[in-house]
Amino acid sequence: MKHEQDIDCGGGYVKILPTGLDQENFNGDSEYNIMFGPDICGATKRVHFIVTYKGKNHLIKNEIRAESDVFSHLYTLIINPDQTFQVLIDNKEVRKGSLLEAFDFLPPKEINDPSVSKPSDWVDEKEIVDPEAKKPEDWDTIPAQIKDAEAQQPEDWDTELDGEWEAPQVPNPEYKGEWVHPRIANPEYQEDSQIYAFNSNKYVGIEIWQVKSGTIFDNFLVTDSVETAAEWAEKSANRQQAEKDLKKKDDDEKKAANSEDEAAPESTEDLPDLSGLDLDNDDDSDADAGHDEL
């Protein structure tokens, strides 16, 4: 996908759709298996990766950043039978992981034990006042500062004391630590090793929305061969390099044209009108001409 920098908002997604699609009424609400593609709007520059599981669309939990310069970029999604995935941009891996960890397809394996509650006498305080500590009798009579024998006491001097005494802290013998709710197996959790697979993948749908023109969205490949996808990715890299070379050439030509404009002489329209002056610079002629006028 090629996305110009001055485009405010836009996105282009490829959707893999199952059998049963109403093609004549295909729209954003049509059921799909996978949606994948860049979404660029202001500060948002992400790659949408959504998988439908049991009728619900699940968006990847951690965003993947999309490219947003003026060149074409190739976005590749690989889903493996071991329920892992890879996302590549320009044939370089930008994210990989487990479908089970990256998406909230399944409920948690464990939940808090509903039959257990935090004991009412549970002690949360890690430290308590030391019961054996005693406040010194002269605690309040010892000033925090004394006069410097060599200094003169300022007229507005006010002696500060230590303030209210507080006993030192010691470990609480009753402390049990932070209470952790016991966990049990979630009765609603069921393993599913076939999340990556779909009953059918029959159609490819394209969903594009733009605020401004300037986006090219083309060249789609759906295959079960990672090697084939990599080969086509190399061709895409060649295309991007050609775009960069062309842009550099265009920038160089513009720079050269600007340099020529700066070095060019001023237009004759900007020069003073000298048509009525004698530019022969002959002193004798000038003298004679002056004599005749007298």
> Residue 191: its pLDDT value, please?
92
pLDDT < 70 regions, the chain: 1-9, 141-170, 263-294
Q: Name all domains of the chain by residue range, CATH numbers in brackets.
A: 9-108+193-248 (2.60.120.200), 117-180 (no CATH)
> Residue 133: its pLDDT value, please?
79
> Residue 242: its pLDDT value, please?
85
> Residue 285: its pLDDT value, please?
44
> Residue 47: its pLDDT value, please?
94
> Residue 24: its pLDDT value, please?
92
Amino acid at 169: Q
Listed residue (66, 61, 69, 60) closest to 7, CA to CA: 69
How far apart, in Å, are the Cα atoms of 51 and each of 54, 103, 162, 221, 223?
10, 9, 65, 18, 17
> Residue 244: its pLDDT value, please?
87
> Residue 288: its pLDDT value, please?
45
> Residue 107: its pLDDT value, please?
93
Give tens-digit pLDDT for 210-250.
Answer: 777 777 788 899 999 999 998 888 887 788 888 888 888 98
Listed residue (202, 225, 200) closest to 78, CA to CA: 225
Give tens-digit pLDDT for 166-189.
Answer: 566 667 777 777 778 889 999 989
